[in-house]
Structure 1
């Protein structure tokens, strides 16, 4: 059984209202410090009140950009593997020709 909260429902709703009033100008950490609560506690209260995860500044554009960057990262990692193979081939070829010239 979960222990009862030491914060009243009224305090929680006031804290949520304070954060919403200052959203965009102040962080959870700043507002929580003013209220002497843990920032994650405040974040949880806001998330529960909204019924969805709180992602400050996140949007569909952000998600699309993240997907694009992940795809680009995978492409660059594959290209790096190819470049390593080419460098190894050239290193071996150079060593071969040095031996042949001696």
Structure 2
């Protein structure tokens, strides 16, 4: 359930409602999941930032060639 919130586009409230749970309980699970997987998320964010910087540099270079 926590992955549905963290990795998907669903809110805590909608996930809780679909499973018949209280939103606070699902929120606690989401917080715990995020804490346990913080390193993986940070690595993903860093990798995405590096890719964005590479693409911006590539775009800048392409514009300069025109």
Which whole-Å CA distance do the structure 2 matches of 1:72 and 1:82 have between them? 15
Aligned length: 48
Correspondence for 1:80: 55
Q: Any idea what the Cα deviations from partners look like across 1:25-84, whole Å, max 9, x if unmatched? A: xxxxxxxxxxxxx33651436x18xxx7123x8252x22111110111111111111000
Which ranges of structure 2 fall in alignment gaps of 5 or more residues? 1-16
Q: In the alignment, which residue of structure 2 is the partner of 1:39?
A: 18
Q: Please state whether the residue corresponding to 1:42 is helix, strand or coil.
A: coil
User: TM-score under structure 1 normalisation?
Assistant: 0.37
Distance in 2, matches of 1:40 and 1:54, equals 14
Q: Give the structure with the higher percent helix.
A: 2
* Corresponding residue SS for 2:29: coil
Structure 1 portions without partners, runs of 5+ = 1-37, 93-102
TM-score normalised by structure 2 residue count: 0.52
Higher relative contact order (CA 8 A, sep 6+): 2
